[in-house]
Amino acid sequence: MKLFFYWLLAILVTLSAVVYQRKTGPTYDKNVKITIGQQEYSFRLIRSHGGNTDCKIELDIPDSGISGVIYYRKYPARDNWTSTEMARNGSCLVGYLPNQPPAGKLEYKIELSGESGKFSLNEGRPVIVRFKGDVPAAVLIPHIILMFIAMLLSNLAGIMALFRHKKYKVFGFATLATLFAGGMIFGPFVQKYAFGEFWTGVPFAWDLTDNKTLFAFLFWLLAFLMNRRKERPVYTVIASLVMLAVYSIPHSMFGSELNPETGEIIQGMINLPLYWFSVI
């Protein structure tokens, strides 16, 4: 029963962290709602686009009397806004944002027009979309699965260590192994395909995603080494808490960003008031 309780608690904590990541990460779709006349519409605005194609923006609006315009500009250059009309395709309005180099960003906003007037999505606040290269599924899927397993095992090992369960060291080692494979092996390959660099964390740059992965790995390496010859569960508990804190940082926040003036990929810093407004 105790082991079942440990697993159940670890799963609940892990799933909560995953949901939090999905709701706060700056590259996950932005959910917006708007009421036009008597009809309420819900949309998902894209904030990440991979590959060499233009970024497709599609809004399901069956009312043929409603049209739309997309306004966009490079981020963070703050150039003048460029507008493009959305075309109707059946029940949807469709528009495209021009493809950008890997780590390039555009901010865009959408204005809808109908018989009852004009309506701005997301209360007129722009949404930022980051472009990236196409990451093969053979690289991306193992990375995602291994990182999820590492988080689950980290929570499990930490809970077991807290209650002095004799197998906490076994799951601690499993955490270290999966975190190394998912974050330190597959992670750099994902980064290479997406943004052209294997590693953009310290000592080469300050990409937060790479740095927080390295930070969590070093703490788990320390926990493993400190428990090799003697039981020191406190190190495992600390490593587990560090891993949980790392996952509480929105994914891809302060990630790779293309400097539109120099063409160099730098560690980006999204304007915080704009970012948090877009999350709410």
pLDDT, mean over the chain = 86
Same domain, 171 and 269: yes
Model pTM above 0.85: no
Same domain, 84 and 99: yes
Q: What is the pLDDT of residues 79-130, one digit of tens each?
A: 899 999 999 999 999 999 999 998 899 999 999 998 888 999 998 999 999 9
Same domain, 260 and 179: yes
Same domain, 79 and 210: no
Which of 20-24, 62-66, 155-159 is the least confident region?
20-24
132 pLDDT higher than 80: yes
pLDDT tier, 198 (very low <50, low <70, confident <90, very high otherwise): confident
pLDDT (mean) for 153-181: 95
Same domain, 53 and 182: no
Question: Which letter, b or e, does each residue of 7-35 get, where b requires 16 or more Cβ atoms within 10 Å of its Cβ?
Answer: eeebeebbeebeeebeebbbbbebebebe
pLDDT (mean) for 48-67: 93
Same domain, 36 and 162: no
Q: How many domains is the chain partitioned into structurally?
A: 2
